[in-house]
């Protein structure tokens, strides 16, 4: 009985000390209340501020009257390409609208409205289907292109020229299984700044028989309505 009271007193002191330490840990710190940050959702598990997310995963917002986009070419012949515009996925394996060859989305350059998506098999398909698709494009139409597997074997001189007229500089050299992402426009006056090509090369390929996938994003200005 004589030892019980001191032991109980010591236990109370220890409990108070642990409680104070726990409270100081949760509510103290250099950056204010960690617990308040936790419940407000402003910090992630590691205690660092969560990076802000912008349309299509861009690192910064686009200016007014600009379209945010992200293009990802296919990886080998396994993972399909992606075309994202204004945070909407236009082309992806999840949407089940990708295919071997060229994956293309047409967008109204004035309104940003999706007009059409289509795939063209450039290994075993007919290039005339691609020509019929590209020839009648209206002035100002934006053209988003992402390759998957082989995007070049069936390309002929006319199809390459049509892409050059949309602003491409890489299409003239596009070859078997090269990776390619491109954004062009009907009636563009200069060459497009939105284009990447990765050459299929045994010495540098990331996958056996294919180069690495390409990823490109940016902001495209909407064009003013055509007069008349």
What pLDDT digit, counting tens, does each position of 16-51 carry?
566 555 555 444 444 444 333 333 333 445 556 667
User: Does residue 120 form part of some domain?
Assistant: yes
The closest alpha carbon to 95, from 76, 115, 119, 113, belongs to 119
Residue 30 lies in a domain: no
Domain that holds residue 201: 55-221
Residue 136 lies in a domain: yes
CA-CA-CA-CA torsion for 155, 156, 157, 162, nearest 10 degrees?
-50
Any domain includes 187: yes
pTM of the model: 0.77
d(CA 65, CA 18): 57
Helix (H) or strand (E) holding 13: helix 4-27
Residue 203 lies in a domain: yes
How many domains does the chain fold into? 1
Supply angle C-alpha 85, 88, 90, rounded to 5. Answer: 75
Residues 6 or more apart in contact with residue 176 via CB below 8 angstroms:
150, 152, 153, 200
Q: For residue 169, tell me if it sits in a domain.
A: yes
Q: Is 176 helix (H, G, I), strand (E, B) or coil?
A: coil
DSSP character string of 154-171: T--HHHHHHHHHTT-SSG
Q: Which of 37-41, 45-49, 67-71, 111-115 has the lowest mean pLDDT?
A: 37-41
Residue 163 — pLDDT band, cuts 50, 70, 90? very high
How would residue 211 be classed by pLDDT, with cut points 50, 70 and 90? confident
Q: What tokens appear for 100 in the block? A: 């071997």
Neighbours of 96 (CB within 10 A): 8
Does residue 9 fall inside a structural domain? Answer: no
Q: Given pLDDT bands bounded at 50, 70 and 90, which one contains residue 86? A: very high
Q: Give 180's strand partners.
A: 197
Residue 186 lies in a domain: yes
């Amino acid at each position: 009985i004589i030892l019980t009271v001191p032991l109980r007193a010591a236990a109370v002191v220890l409990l108070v000390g642990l409680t104070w330490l726990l409270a100081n840990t949760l509510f103290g710190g250099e950056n204010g209340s960690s617990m308040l940050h936790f419940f407000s959702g402003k910090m992630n598990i590691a205690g660092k501020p969560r990076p802000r997310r912008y349309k299509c995963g861009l690192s910064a917002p686009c200016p007014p009257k600009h379209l945010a986009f992200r293009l990802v070419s296919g990886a080998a012949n396994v993972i399909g390409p992606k075309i994202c515009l204004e945070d909407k996925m236009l082309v992806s394996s999840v949407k089940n609208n990708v295919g071997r060859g060229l994956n293309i989305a047409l967008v109204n350059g004035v309104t940003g409205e999706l007009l059409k998506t289509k795939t063209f098999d450039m290994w075993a398909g007919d290039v005339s289907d691609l020509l019929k698709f590209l020839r009648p494009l209206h002035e100002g139409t934006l053209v988003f292109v992402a390759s998957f597997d082989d995007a070049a074997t069936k390309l002929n001189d006319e199809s390459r020229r049509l892409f050059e007229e949309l602003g491409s500089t890489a299409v003239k050299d596009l070859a078997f299984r090269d990776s390619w992402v491109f954004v062009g426009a009907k009636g563009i006056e200069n060459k497009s700044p939105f284009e990447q090509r990765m050459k299929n090369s045994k010495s540098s390929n990331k996958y056996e028989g294919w180069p690495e996938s390409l990823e490109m994003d940016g902001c495209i200005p909407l064009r003013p309505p055509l007069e008349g």
